[in-house]
Amino acid sequence: MMHISGPEFTAAISNAGALGIMASAMFDSQESFRQAVLQVRSATDQPFGVNLSLFPALRPIDNALYVDVILEEGVPVVETSGHRPPADLLARLKAGGVKVMHKCVSVRHAMSAQRIGVDAVTIFGSEGGGHIGEFGISTLVSVPRAVDVLNIPVLAAGGIADGRGLLAALALGAEGVTLGTRLLLTRECPIHENLKQALMQATELDTLPILGSLHNTLRAWKNAAAIRVAKLEAESADPMEILSVVAGIATKQMLSNGNVDAGVLACGQAVGLIDQVEPVADVITRMVTQAVEIADRIARKGTLYGDVHQTQSSI
Ligand X SMILES: Cc1cc2nc3c(=O)[nH]c(=O)nc-3n(C[C@H](O)[C@H](O)[C@H](O)COP(=O)(O)O)c2cc1C
Q: Which residues bind ligand X (CB under 6 A)?
A: 1-2, 4, 23, 51, 53, 81, 103, 124, 128-130, 157-160, 178-182, 184, 265-268, 270
Give min distance, CB of 206 to ligand X, in A: 13
- Which of residues 9 and 124 has its CB atom nearest to ligand X in the complex? 124
Task: Specify whether the CB–CB gap between 105 and 135 falls below 8 A.
Answer: yes
- Which of residues 162 and 237 has its CB atom nearest to ligand X in the complex? 162
- Which of residues 133 and 268 has its CB atom nearest to ligand X in the complex? 268
Amino acid at 24: S
- Which of residues 141 and 237 has its CB atom nearest to ligand X in the complex? 141
- Which of residues 170 and 237 has its CB atom nearest to ligand X in the complex? 170
SS3 call for 242: helix
Give min distance, CB of 301 to ligand X, in A: 28
DSSP characters over 53-116: EES--SS---HHHHHHHHHHTT--EEEEEESPPPHHHHHHHHHTT-EEEEEESSHHHHHHHHHH
Q: Compute the distance between CA of residue 177 and CA of residue 157 in angstroms, rounded to an integer.
A: 6
Nearest to 200 by CA among 267, 271, 110: 271
Give min distance, CB of 129 to ligand X, in A: 3
Give min distance, CB of 57 to ligand X, in A: 10
Give min distance, CB of 31 to ligand X, in A: 21
92-110 burial code (b ≥16 CB/10 A, e <16): bbeeeebbbbbbbbbbebb
Give min distance, CB of 182 to ligand X, in A: 6
Q: Compute the distance between CA of residue 304 and CA of residue 54 in angstroms, rounded to an integer.
A: 50
SS3 call for 212: helix
Give min distance, CB of 295 to ligand X, in A: 21
Task: Specify whether the CB–CB gap between 181 and 128 falls below 8 A.
Answer: yes
- Which of residues 226 and 265 has its CB atom nearest to ligand X in the complex? 265
- Which of residues 118 and 157 has its CB atom nearest to ligand X in the complex? 157
Closest residue to bound ligand X by CB: 180
Q: Compute the distance between CA of residue 72 and CA of residue 68 in angstroms, rounded to an integer.
A: 6
Task: Specify whether the CB–CB gap between 200 and 213 falls below 8 A.
Answer: no
